[in-house]
Amino acid sequence: LDDANPEEITVAEAMTEDVLAVSPETPVAEVARRMAELRVGSAIVIDDGRVAGIFTTMDALQALAQGGA
């Protein structure tokens, strides 16, 4: 996508298909470690088979700053 025009590229063409999915009960430290290993900036939180939210690098930083990681 280096020479791609963002006005013409669709989300489907640009998105990552292999996503990291975690449960709401997964410890922050574990999710952060897995995100770093996979070199991704977010994880999808799945609860009871449904998307409950998204955990991002900013969420990890905030947890670390509060002493929760």
Single out the residue of 42, 55, 50 nearest to residue 15, CA to CA: 42
Three-class SS of residue 47? strand
Distance CA 50, CA 44 (A): 10
12-64 pLDDT, tens digit per residue, is 988 888 899 999 999 999 999 999 999 999 999 999 999 999 999 999 999 98
Looking up tokens 């088979």 gives 49
pTM for the predicted model, two decimal places: 0.79
- Asked if 54 contacts 44 with a C-beta cutoff of 8 angstroms, the reply is yes
Q: Residue range 1-18: average pLDDT?
A: 83
